[in-house]
Amino acid sequence: MPVRMVSAAALEEELARLKCATPNPDVGVFGPGSANWKVNRESALFLSAGRAALLQLAHPWVANAIAQHSRTLDDPIGRFHHTFRVMFTLSFGSLDQALDAARGLHRLHQSIQGAITETAGRFEQGSFYQANEAEALTWVFATLIDSSLLAYKLALPPLNQAEREQYYAESRKSAALFGISPAELPADLAGFERYLHSALQSDMLRVSAGTRLLAHRLQSGAGWRIRPPFWYRALTTQLLPPRFRQEFGFEYGDRERKAALRALRWIRRIYAQLPPAMRFVGPYNEVQSRLGGRTAAGLAVRTSNRVWIGQSTLFA
């Protein structure tokens, strides 16, 4: 089947367009008042992080890349910190910081290639994969958009339709950071939802036996000494489409349903009452401090940053 790799030159073309379309480079691609800052600042996005990772894993190219190249199974916390350092830089960094992070991500992906180890869906055993392939990148990007919107409404009153449309429009613009042209994405939220529905039923996604074992290791915390709590594993399973609960072989009975629902009741009761230093992620609070004229982040921000990104500051 034909594939299209995102070259360094193609990435630079998209970044140049994004640069021209960014009115205030100092506050980055989105900036204060954007729907993306409103959503992506929430610590509650972690509620759907497991779901996003598993849906990405359902793409055989992603599964093989993780199995053959990633530190996820050996150092899950280090991988977690690296991923969020990149994603928070893309969301909350200045335009130059976001562009540098995008280039670094592309260079990393350029080295991730190999052969599919098991036939899965449309992908034959022995066929070549490369992490900078446009269709795979688009799928990964789509899971981030969809899972972020889902997590937001799990913990907070859902966005209205206009806010959801704005969030998607902003995200579509920022796809350039992955080397994806906005023209390759659906033009509006309704089109994006149709794309998701089609992809989730397609043979682009398929869980092989090896991927199933990998998913169970991730669900159990991989190599980390502390296993994720049962309620979080149950919630992650609940948030998966039924097809993938089955393909991954996750148990989902009364015990899992009750644990997930009980956790959500508590989250909805207390989450919105949390102080900003706890509710919002450290990099967002760090940027807010800078925009407010404070040159050094406070103790609460530095502590939050260490949890999310493994270091006390992101934008020093």
Task: Render pLDDT for 16-57 as a digit per residue (tens, 0 to 9).
Answer: 999 999 999 999 999 999 999 999 999 999 999 999 999 999
Q: Which residues pair with 130 in a beta bridge?
A: 113
239 pLDDT more than 70? yes
Question: Does any domain span residue 211?
Answer: yes
Residues 240 and 269: beta-carbon distance below 8 Å: no
- Angle, helix 76-92 to helix 95-110, in steps of 10 degrees: 140
Question: Does any domain span residue 247?
Answer: no
Average pLDDT over residues 248-261: 97
Model confidence at 228, pLDDT cuts 50, 70, 90, reads confident
264 pLDDT more than 70? yes
Residues 297 and 285: beta-carbon distance below 8 Å: yes
Element (H, E) at 113: strand 113-115
Model confidence at 2, pLDDT cuts 50, 70, 90, reads low
DSSP structure string for 43-108:
GGGGGGHHHHHHHHHTSHHHHHHHHHH-STTT-HHHHHHHHHHHHHHHHHS-HHHHHHHHHHHHHH
Report pLDDT for 300. Answer: 86
| CA proximity to 148, closest of 65, 244, 41 | 41
Between the CA of residue 245 and those of 108, 122, 198, what are the distances in Å? 31, 20, 18
Task: Render pLDDT for 85-126 as a digit per residue (tens, 0 to 9).
Answer: 999 999 999 999 999 999 999 999 999 999 999 999 999 999
Question: Does any domain span residue 216?
Answer: yes
Question: Does any domain span residue 12?
Answer: yes
72 pLDDT more than 80? no
Between the CA of residue 202 and those of 59, 163, 180, 206, what are the distances in Å? 10, 29, 21, 8
Report pLDDT for 184. Answer: 87
Q: Please give the DSSP secondary-structure letter assigned to residue 128.
A: E
Model confidence at 225, pLDDT cuts 50, 70, 90, reads low
* Angstrom distance (rounded) from CA 264 to CA 128: 42
Mean pLDDT across the chain: 92
212 pLDDT more than 60? yes
Question: Does any domain span residue 289?
Answer: no
* Angstrom distance (rounded) from CA 17 to CA 108: 22
Question: Does any domain span residue 125?
Answer: yes
Model confidence at 169, pLDDT cuts 50, 70, 90, reads very high
Domain count of the fold of the chain? 1
Question: Does any domain span residue 102?
Answer: yes
Question: Does any domain span residue 243?
Answer: no
173 pLDDT more than 80? yes
Report pLDDT for 80. Answer: 83
Average pLDDT over residues 293-306: 83
First to last CA, the chain: 45
Between the CA of residue 101 and those of 88, 97, 108, 199, 240, what are the distances in Å? 10, 6, 11, 28, 30
Range of the domain at 121: 8-227
Model confidence at 4, pLDDT cuts 50, 70, 90, reads confident
